[in-house]
Every structure is written in C-alpha cells, then in structure tokens.
Structure 1
C-alpha cells in the first residue's frame, strides 16, 4: 500500500486551506494579552521553576511574559480544535511523540529554522532533531525530552536464581531478545510466577522502539506488513507462550500490581518507567533495582516537542523562550523534576544528572540511558503510525487474553489497517 506524494501534499494543502485568514504576529485570534506568550501543555511536561521564571519575564524580552495552561485531558483534541477554529489559539504548544500526526497542519506553525533553530541543531541528538522536520524540510517542532530504553531488573530476584547482578554482567548475559527469554526462564524456575514483561504489547512496543524502520517509508510506502514488523509481533507472542508475561494489560490496576507484588522482576522499558513503575508502585523496593543495556539494542519510546503557531504575537520572543527552556542546562534541571530525559547530550555530564540514584542502589543511571539515547538509530515516524499501530496492538492482546491464533490475528490486523488507511485517504 502506498501513500502517494500527491495525497500527502494534499493533506498539507487541506491544512493550509483551513488556515486561510491567519495573520501571523499580532493576530486578534491569538490567546492572551499583548504582553503575554500563551502556552498550552499537559501536566508533568515542564519544570515548574523554569516556567515560574518565564512567567515573570521571557529571557531577553523583559516586556513579555509567559502565560501557561496545563490541560489535563483530551489535550491533542483541544489543540487541533483550537487551530481549526482559528480563534484563541495559543502562541506555543507542546506536542507529544506523535508529532508526525501534526505535519498535515504544518502550515499553521512557524518554520523554526527561520527563527534561528538551525544554529542550535548541533546541541541535540540528530535523530530527535529530525523527528520535528516535515517531508518538505520545514522544522515544525523543537526537541524537548526523549525516552531512551534500558533493561530494569530486581537484584534480589536475580540473586535467588544465582545470577550475577552487576549491570555489566547482566548486559553480557542478555544482549539479545533470545538471550533475554532464556534469562526469563531461569528466573521463573527460581522465582515461580515471575515475569519479564508486563504484557504482550510491552514486548512488541519496546522491540519496535529499537528498529531503524517502522510502518511507512518517507516516500509514503506502507511497510507495516513486512518481516521487520512481523518479527516483533512473533517475538511478543513467543514471550507469552513461554509463560514470561505478567498479563497485566495497560490502563488496568494490574499494571501497577505486578510491580508492587514483585511479579515483574525485569522489564525492557523507557527511562520514564522508573518513575511511573517501581518508584510509584513499589517504593519499598528502593535500592533493589538496577538498569543496564537493553536486550536487542538501544531504543527510544516517547519524548515531546514545542511548536510556535502562526497566530503567535511575537515569534522571536517565543523562540527565545523555547530555546532557553530546552538548553542543555535547563534540560538537566527538568530531569530532576518532572524526570524528563534530555535531548541534549551535553546534559548527560551535568552533575545534577550524574548524581547516584539511591533507588537504583546508587547507580548512575544516566550512563545507561545516555548511551541508549546516543546509540539509538532513529526511525521515520509517519502521520499514520498511530492508526497503523493500534490494530496490531489490539490483536496482540487478543492473542494473550483470548488465545486467538497468531496468524489470524496478524491477518485481521492488516485488514483493519488497510481499512483505516483507506478511510484516512492514505491509499
């Protein structure tokens, strides 16, 4: 299946048509007063102390101040509705890792290269920088955090299985997914009921996060039915069939419970899971966790961006703000709270990031996640990735929870994807 360039550009043209009437700087439809830069984001996306500074004055623009709104639910819907309505649009918006789904609306955002972004490119991870650039070379989104992956594991559980708990030793023991499965079997024999993933999609999504290609090519060719996807699909099913999944599905109380009760003894996950997983669900396990290089190689799952809308009252001041907020120094501060892993490698040697983490037995976890962020090969994310990935994940759940045939699940997922891409006008 192919998304033709004509169709892709037509989507952009449609967005441009929808944006007709935008006046750019000083538009009466922008949100906030003339001395304010309005910003929308979600809870837990920025460092409060840094925002407080900008709320007093934008660095370099003493006559401008930030007015930030945290939106708790339906964030993306509210942003897109605001853009479509051409009224009360914020000057700056945060965008999650589905940044490519905004590309058809790129004409409603400033090209950040025209505001000076190009001069800062060398400060960022190359693959992260590239994710904010549209097919026609427009830089629509500026890098915020990333989601490098690593293997989390419980030292006390490995000790019960007679396994060396040193991070380097564990990495050597499980450099591949096959070796990780063997490690899981050994752990389960020593600790009955233990698991090395929360659920089937946990394996699939993190294995996919290590790949250099995903569902589509940059020229619009659908490749989500090829071997590199089927292999990760089959890998996830294999982990389940080996009895190594906790079968704790996403968005259920079981997801926290398997961490709290110690059933999940190891997990290939993104850096942000440290906070959402063990630190939140199992605080009494402080000191028992470690991290090491993930089986299968470096990966990334998650990370966000900032964009400046065409309604912005002062684009230059807005860019001064976002480039200040996402400097290496300030990204290091955001790692402390709200635990956002930087997209600026210079942050990885900042003493605020290199400090030993007591929850991980005094380990310098930045060394593991920093290496993963640097080694991750990067991959192309298309505007259609979310509608492609959803049927695959749903069918994997059917395999784990209902015993559906893997081949039938794969076939049904591909059939659903074809319907969704057709409905979206992509094929």
Structure 2
C-alpha cells in the first residue's frame, strides 16, 4: 500500500525538494516552537543530549518496516545531525507479535527485555496505560501538544497526563469517481458537506444512471460504523468504559443509516479486504469512505488517473454531527524504566514532536500523513495530485484534521465492537433498533464484568 503513496509523494515533491529545507522555514510556527529538531520543552530530568558525542543507543519496537520503521530511520538521520553519537536499533515485529510480547512481559512483571520506545495503536493505548500503571513515561512536558490534532492527544491521555507522542493519522475523506458523478448529472460540489441521507439519494441516482454501486457494505467490518460514530463525537463505550449503545442518539442514527445503506441497493456486498479493494480498483463503486492512508490503494486502479476526487465524508443528521472523522492511527511511547529513557524522550520530542523537516521527508519517502499541525503549513503539503484531478489532497486532509471530534477510546473498544457484531445481522434484517441495542448493551456488560 505504501509504494504507490511514495510514488505520488515523490511526484508532488518534484518541484519542491530542492528547497526542502527552506519549506520548513516557510511554515508559520506557533510561538511555542521553531519547527527545528530542538524539543520545545525538555523533560525535567533530561540529561544534556545536545552537546555530548558519547554513544547513545536507543531500542525501538514497531511494525511495518516500510512505513513505521522507515519513519524511525528518517528521524534517526535527522537527530544524528545534532547528536552524532546517537544510534537507533529498530526491532521489526508484526503488529500482533508486538502486542503479544508487550502484554506477556507486562503481565509477568518482567520488563528487562522491553525496548526504550514502542509503537502503540491508538485504540489500545488506554487499555495499556490503565492496566499497567507506571509502565510508560509521563511525556506531558516533552512537547507542545497544542501543535497536534486534539483527538490524537486525547487518545494518549489518562488522568490529565499524556503518555505518547502522536504519530500518523487516519483522518477520513470521501473518495469519489468524477466520471461516474458526471454521468449521473452531478458535480463535485454536490458532494460537499452532505448528510448520509443525501449520500444515499445520490447513490440511488448513480446506480440507476450508471449501473455502478455507490459503496460497499461488509457486516463483519465495523470501519464505517466507527467513522460515523466519531464524526458525531461518540463511541461504542463511554469515557468510564461503560457500554454506550442505549440512550445514545449517535449510535441509534448510525444503525439506522447503516441499515439504509445495506438495504437501499446502492452498496455492493463484500466479505473481506480483497473484495473491498477490488470493488474500487475494478471500477465497481463510485465512492470510498476511508482514511487518508487509502490513497495508495486507490491509486492501484489501472487507467484511473485523473478520474478520482475527494470530498468531506457525509455526516449524521443529528446535533453534533460533523463531516470529519478518523480511521486508524498510532503513537510512540517510552517505557518508564527504560535504560535510556531520557535520550529516547528527547529523540522523539525533537523529531516526531517538533520537526516540520521530518514530516516533509516522511511524506516524500513513506506517503505518511501526520498529526503535527505546523507541518501542513509547508508548501510540500499543498502540491496538486494529478491522479486526483489536480486537487491538493493533502491540504484538504489537513483542513479536515482539526475538525475531527475528540473522543475517549477507552479500554474495551474491541469487546464493544464484538458485542455489536453479534447483533448486527438482526439489525440489518429489520429488527427494532432500540431493542437490538439493548441486547448489545447487555452482552457487552457480560463480557467485561
């Protein structure tokens, strides 16, 4: 998936890379940061890592060497300019293996084999922080968190303490086929800031006039329901980890819209990732509502360059409903008992936490989109993408990023999703939504007792 993003990013950068360092200085920083590799506020107990040439080795665990691992390498190279004695050992694990090794070590209390730095999926952050107190370093004063998307900061915050440096994001958009839209008599402006009900109406006309589906539906994948919920500032569970299925207008409306999508005839049924991807790479659907990271996969569609555009996602037609949401993302954590805790903290703070130059390189080499807001002021992120009809797609996602509602993911998101999946077939088959959600609430409560 990352290869195509790299290709388009390199294309976007063709006219700007020669001035890469100057584009960093063109960004308009907030008063608290100068967008260099020097952290805003060093940890109170930090050693002087800016002047010493002594060897300083930090170990980091992550998954996906082409994306997360490469981001670490970019950061290492940048940090070494001011810290020539610094080296970073990157341990590549699958996401499943990383989480299993971390959980096993923390549960046993044997933490000697854990790294200094570890990548944590945002949806799991609260569970680790709460279940294993005093495991992760308090990074509240490591960087200026006002420079990050607020919903990302919320995901790594517990009891007013911040434990992670926010990294990549999954800010969502509605990718659409401009040729199908035009054939059905619509223009791109007809997709701007619409409700889901209007989306369905447009989908019905596209299906009638072009024979193409508007989207896909997969009852075993909760991605679209998660996007809908967060767009209204809601989630499957409450901040105190209780089920959030009843007396929740956002949940009720999400289920109504999801059932309408499935029953309206505009959604192509799929049963897995491959079928989902094939649906748009083969030209079967007119839109894809997904995270920004979906760009690379969309670009795998042969002969489709110039035929795609992107608009804000539809919103739930309720109070608090917005046209912005998120799908996926992760953050960097430092182990509190790590041998090189101070150096690891300074490394993350100076690069991931405070460097536009880092994020310019990250976009160019990995297609990575960040939660560090000052980076988007760089000219690099404003370049037009030929594949998307000349739209400045990264500028658009940057515009929507601060609009994503902040939510508490809590400790039991997966358990809540599993409970919903158990009842979702009944909802899709016409069961009373309120009664079905009461059933889901009871099932969830039994699971987490």
Bucket of the pairwise TM-score, normalised by the shorter protein:
0.7 to 0.9
**CA-to-partner distance for each residue in 1:36-90, whole Å, 9 max, x for gaps?**
2110011044362751562797564433310001212513112222333323111
Aligned pair partner of 1:377 in 405, 413, 424: 405
Structure 2 residue corresponding to 1:95, chosen from 103, 120, 128:
120
**Equivalent position of 1:163 in the other structure:** 186
CA offsets per residue over residues 391-412 of structure 1, 9 Å max, x none? 2145335655xx4746475454
Listed as ranges, the matches of 1:402-413 within 5 Å are 403=429, 405=431, 407=433, 410-413=437-440
Measured in 2, the distance between the counterparts of 1:196 and 1:356 equals 26
Q: Pick from 69, 84, 88 the counterpart of residue 62 of structure 1.
A: 84
Q: CA deviation at 1:246?
A: 1.4
Structure 2 contact 419–444 (Cα < 8 Å) conserved: yes
After superposition, residues 350-389 of structure 1 pair within 5 angstroms as: 350-389=378-417
Structure 1 pair 140–150 and aligned structure 2 pair: CA distance change class (3 A): same
Residue 338 of structure 1, CA deviation? 2.5
Distance in 2 separating the partners of 1:128 and 1:161: 38
Number of the residue aligned with 1:332: 360
Correspondence for 2:135 among 97, 102, 108? 108
> What residue in structure 1 maps to residue 289 of structure 2?
268
Measured in 2, the distance between the counterparts of 1:56 and 1:341 equals 18
Quick one: distance in 2 between partners of 1:354 and 1:394? 44
User: What CA distance in whole angstroms lies between the structure 2 residues aligned with 1:199 and 1:245?
Assistant: 9
* Residue number among 76, 86, 94 corresponding to 2:99 in the alignment: 76
Partners of 1:289 and 1:66 in 2: CA distance: 40
Where does 1:275-290 land on structure 2 (aligned, <5 Å)?
Answer: 275-276=296-297, 278-280=298-300, 282-290=301-309
Q: Which runs of 5+ in 2 are unaligned?
A: 1-44, 47-54, 316-322
Contact 2:168 2:370 in 1 (8 A): yes
Q: SS of the residue aligned with 2:280?
A: helix
Q: What does residue 265 of structure 2 align with?
A: 243
- Alignment partner of 2:182: what SS? helix
SS across alignment from 2:309: strand
Shift of 1:337: 3.5
Instruction: Map 1:7-22; keep pairs closer than 5 Å.
Output: none
Structure 1 stretch displaced more, 119-128 or 314-323:
119-128
The question of 1:189 aligning with 2:189 is answered no
- DSSP 3-state at the match of 1:305: strand
What TM-score, normalized to structure 2? 0.77
Tell me whether 325-334 or 206-215 shows the greater mean CA deviation: 325-334
1:341 aligns with 2:365: no
Would you say the 8 A contact 1:199–1:248 is kept in 2?
Answer: yes
**Aligned residue for 1:415?**
442
Per mean C-alpha deviation after superposition, the further-off stretch among 151-160 and 405-414 is 405-414
For residues 356-391 of structure 1, the C-alpha deviation after alignment (integer angstroms, 9 at most, x for no partner) is 112212210123211210111211211112211222
1:259 is aligned to 2:280: yes
Partner of 1:207: 228
Alignment of 1:222 with 2:243, yes or no, is yes
Structure 1 residues 45, 137: closer, same or farther in 2, change over 3 A?
farther
Aligned-partner SS, 1:284: coil
Write the distance in 1 (CA, Å) between the matches of 2:409 and 2:277. Answer: 29
- Count of paired positions: 378
Contact 1:198–1:264 (CA under 8 A) maintained in structure 2: no
Alpha carbon RMSD of aligned pairs, Å?
Answer: 2.6
User: Are the equivalent residues in 2 in contact too, given 1:270–1:301 (CA < 8 A)?
Assistant: yes
Q: CA separation in 2, counterparts of 1:284 and 1:199?
A: 27
Residue of structure 2 in register with 1:152 after alignment: 175
CA pair 239-70 structure 1, distance change in 2 beyond 3 A: same
**Is 2:149 the counterpart of 1:125?**
yes
- What per-residue deviation string (whole Å, max 9, x for no partner) do you get for residues 238-280 of structure 1? 11110122111334x311221122112112221111223x123
Partners of 1:300 and 1:179 lie apart in 2 by: 21
Q: State the 1:284 CA deviation.
A: 2.7
Partner Cα distance (2:152, 2:255) in 1: 25
Q: Distance in 1 between matches of 2:203 and 2:413?
A: 31
TM-score normalized by the length of structure 1: 0.81
Equivalent in the alignment of 1:19: none
Distance 1:175 1:52, change over 3 A: closer
